[in-house]
Amino acid sequence: MSVHADVARRRIEELLRTHEERIVRRWAEIASAPSEELKELYRALLAALEEGKNDLADVRGLLAELSRSRARAGFAPSDTARAVFGLKEAVYEIVEADTEGVEAARGFVWFSRLIDDLGLFTFETYAEARERIILDQAEQLLELSTPVVKLWEGIVAVPLVGTLDSARTQVVMEKLLQTLVETGAEHAVIDITGVPAVDTQVAQHLLKTVVAARLMGAECVISGIRPQIAHTIVTLGIEFGDIVTKASLADALAHAFKRAGIEVSGGGNARVVIRAERV
Amino acid sequence: MSGEREVVIAGSADVVGVRQLVRSVAVEIGLSLVDQTKIVTAASELARNALVYGGGGDVRIEIVTNGPRRGLKLIFTDEGPGIPDIEQALTDGWTTGGGMGLGLGGSRRLVDEFDLVSEPGKGTTVTVTKWSR
């Protein structure tokens, strides 16, 4: 740091100390924030400057707190940043009135840059908090949206709802395979009634899941193929090969019953017969 | 919706967004359920192509008319490496990205009009139109 800059910086610090009362009052006016909060922040800033090092950890901590509390109070992040920038205006009035040479004006440039950094820091804090919430929600959604339900002894079903991307397919596949191991089920139904569009990526994910289930000795049926989906799949040219597909979950269950040798005799009071011998 | 809309495709969440927007416009111009699903699926394929092979791009969604018929026109543009052999790219089963190789050719079959312009090194533009019946 040059001698000039050093002198200028010291002059600003001096002004900040001598006019503390006035600056904080003016800052609170400009930022329309409670002056106690700002006073605490101002003190921390002064202390950090006094130590001569550029250690602004305390100031940042307070700013993060301020950013959070203001966000909770419904302020936009730009409002919080603007409140911090308000300090520049308050200090500038003092600098302008300072008659002792140009040092104060020179120092103000340095001070202004410091405040800009701090203002932007509140923005970063806000964005980080947001990011964390979004990440948490995405994770929760992954967990929530992939239940594997037991339909019958030895028959499990995965009702898929919404978009099927790589991450979700991974979770679905893992959960299905895990359930197959745990329950010893030999039949699985993947229901895509809730999947709005089946494109090549979704189809590829489905096929992979079915093949993986097969490797574990389970037979998979894909159900919930609506007319428009069937139309689209055919036009796209996707082949499902020997994988059994059904229009509804009920059809798929009936198919699984047949394969498992479970006989359901219908009528008003339905009766389920499980045959002793297996094919 | 009147006029046109432009959506940037920069991540897989945008592919979902494109799909939803295309579906809402398709409903608006009165496409049948089958045609809605077809154009939505084609949009999904082409948006993903722009993202995966073109490194991102954008799509312009327009409502077009031809006498009493209304149609949905989608223009996908990316500034990726381009497609060196378009015939090959449109062949079913051909892929350079580990997919099924049906996206481009399948999209062509899903829509009424399909136009692909690509210049190696400059990028690719795919224009598709689906008309109401």
The pLDDT > 70 percentage for chain A reads: 91
Q: Edge-to-edge strands of the sheet including A155-161? A: A149-152, A155-161, A187-194, A219-223, A244-246
Residue B18 pLDDT > 60: yes
- Chain A touched by B38 (CB under 8 Å): yes
pLDDT band of residue A110 (cuts 50, 70, 90) is confident
pLDDT band of residue A274 (cuts 50, 70, 90) is low
Residue A47 pLDDT > 70: yes
- Pairwise pLDDT comparison (A122 vs A170), residue with the higher score: A122
Nearest to A165 among B12, B41, B45 (CB): B12
- Chain B touched by A137 (CB under 8 Å): no
How many domains does one find in chain B? Answer: 1
- Chain A touched by B92 (CB under 8 Å): yes
Judged on CB neighbours under 10 Å (0-12, 13-18, 19+), A210 is buried
User: What is this structure's pTM?
Assistant: 0.65
> Among A49-58, A164-173, B14-23, B64-73, which stretch is predicted with the lowest mean pLDDT?
A49-58
Cα angle vertex B47, ends B119, B28, to 5°? Answer: 125
Nearest to A201 among B23, B99, B109 (CB): B99
Q: What is the ipTM of this complex?
A: 0.80
- Chain A touched by B85 (CB under 8 Å): no
Nearest Cα of chain B lies from the Cα of A238 at a distance, in angstroms, of 7
Q: What is the CATH number of the domain that holds B96?
A: 3.30.565.10
Residue A61 contacts by C-beta under 8 Å, 6 or more apart in sequence? none
**CA–CA gap between residue A187 and residue A255 (Å, rounded):** 10
pLDDT band of residue A18 (cuts 50, 70, 90) is confident
We find that the CATH architecture of domain A149-274 is 2-Layer Sandwich (3.30)
pLDDT score at A54 = 64
pLDDT band of residue A278 (cuts 50, 70, 90) is very low
Best CA proximity match to B108, nearest among B17, B15, B46:
B46
Count residue pairs from A and B with Cβ separation < 8 A.
Answer: 63
Q: Which residues of B82-109 are buried (b: 16+ CB within 10 A; e: fewer)?
A: bbeeeeebbebeebeeebbbbbbbbbbb
- Pairwise pLDDT comparison (B13 vs A271), residue with the higher score: B13
User: Contacts from A35-41 at CB under 8 Å and sequence distance 24+?
Assistant: A37/A66, A41/A66
Please state the domain extents for chain A.
3-138, 149-274
pLDDT band of residue A61 (cuts 50, 70, 90) is confident
- pLDDT, tens only, A74-89: 788 888 888 889 898 8
Strands A187-194 and A155-161: parallel
- pLDDT, tens only, A188-236: 999 999 888 888 888 988 898 899 999 988 999 999 999 999 999 999 9
Residue A107 contacts by C-beta under 8 Å, 6 or more apart in sequence? A8, A9, A10, A11, A12, A13, A95
Look at domain A3-138 and name its CATH class: mainly alpha
Nearest Cα of chain A lies from the Cα of B27 at a distance, in angstroms, of 14
- Residue B116 belongs to what domain range? 4-131
pLDDT score at A79 = 85
Which residue of A137, A165, A200, A231 is the best one to mutate when testing the B interface, meaning the one whose CB has the most B CBs within 10 A? A200
- Pairwise pLDDT comparison (B64 vs A94), residue with the higher score: B64
Residue B100 corresponds to which amino acid? M
Residue A39 pLDDT > 70: yes
**CA–CA gap between residue A148 and residue A154 (Å, rounded):** 13
The pLDDT > 70 percentage for chain B reads: 98
Cα angle vertex B91, ends B88, B92, to 5°? Answer: 145
pLDDT score at A139 = 77
Mean pLDDT, residues B72-91 taken together: 93
B102 and A236 within 8 Å at the Cβ level: the answer is yes
